[in-house]
A and B are shown apart, each in its own frame.
Chain A
Amino acid sequence: MLLIQCPYCGPRPELEFAYAGQAHVARPADPSATTPDQWTEFLYLRNNTRGIHAERWRHVRGCARFFNALRDTTTDHFLATYRAGEPMPVLPMGQKP
Chain B
Amino acid sequence: MRKFSGWTLLKEAFGGQQGWTPQWRRVAPQPEYDAIIIGGGGHGLAAAYYLASEHGITRTAVLEKGWIGGGNTGRNTTIIRSNYLFDESAALYDHALKLWEGLSQVLNYNVMFSPRGVMMLAHTVHDVQVAKRHIHANRGNGVDNEWLSPEEAKAYCPPLNIERNIRYPVLGAALQRRGGTARHDAVAWGYARAADALGVDIIENCEVTGLVRDGSGAMEAVQTSRGLIRCRRVGVSAAGNTSVVLGLAGVRLPLESFPLQALVSEPVKPVVPCVVMSGSIHAYISQSDKGELVIGAGTDAYTSYTQRGALHVNSHTLSAVCELFPAFRRMRMLRNWGGIVDVTPDRSPIIARTPVPGLYVNCGWGTGGFKATPGSGHLLAWTMARDEPHPINAPFTIERFRDGHLIDEAAAAAVAH
Contact = CB atoms under 8 A, between A and B. Distances in A.
Partners in one complex: yes
Interface of A: 1-2, 14-15, 17-19, 21, 36-37, 39-41, 43-48, 50, 53, 55, 71, 73-76
B401 A48 contact: no
B310 A14 contact: yes
Contact of A75 (B241, B306, B403): B306
Contacts of B401: 40, 43-44
Give the one of B243, B253, B305, B403 with max A CB within 10 A.
B305
A73 B258 CA distance: 10
A45 B244 contact: no
Contacts of A17: 301
Contacts of A71: 302
Closest 10 CB pairs of A and B: A48-B243, A44-B254, A19-B301, A40-B402, A19-B302, A44-B401, A45-B252, A1-B310, A50-B244, A50-B305
B301 A50 contact: no
Interface string B229-250: 0000000000001011000000
Contacts of A73: 257, 303-306
A92 B254 CA distance: 31
B interface, how many residues as a size bin?
20 to 34
Contacts of A21: 256
B257 A1 contact: no
Contacts of A48: 243-244, 253, 255-257, 303
A41 B311 CA distance: 34
B386 interface: no
A45 B310 contact: no
B303 A1 contact: no
Contacts of B70: none
Contacts of B312: 1, 14-15
Contacts of B311: 1
B199 interface: no
Interface in B248-278: 252-257
9 contacts: A19-B301, A40-B254, A43-B345, A45-B254, A46-B252, A48-B243, A73-B257, A73-B303, A76-B304
Give the one of B241, B253, B303, B311 with max A CB within 10 A.
B303
A40 B253 CA distance: 10
Given A1-B310, A45-B254, A55 B402 contact: no
B301 A18 contact: yes
Given A18-B301, A44-B345, A48-B243, A74 B306 contact: yes
Contact of A74 (B253, B256, B305, B345): B305
A47 B256 CA distance: 8
A19 B304 CA distance: 12
B256 A46 contact: yes
Contacts of B305: 50, 73-74
A65 B39 CA distance: 40
Contacts of B244: 48, 50
A43 B403 CA distance: 12
Contacts of A40: 254, 401-402
Given A2-B302, A21-B256, A44-B345, 18 more contacts: A1-B312, A14-B312, A17-B301, A19-B301, A36-B402, A40-B401, A40-B402, A41-B252, A43-B345, A44-B401, A46-B255, A47-B243, A48-B253, A48-B256, A50-B241, A50-B243, A76-B304, A76-B306
A21 B255 CA distance: 12
Interface in B391-405: 401-403
A41 B303 CA distance: 18
Nearest to B402: A40
Given A1-B312, A40-B401, A43-B401, A55 B252 contact: no
Nearest to B343: A48
Given A15-B312, A44-B345, A46-B256, A55 B303 contact: yes
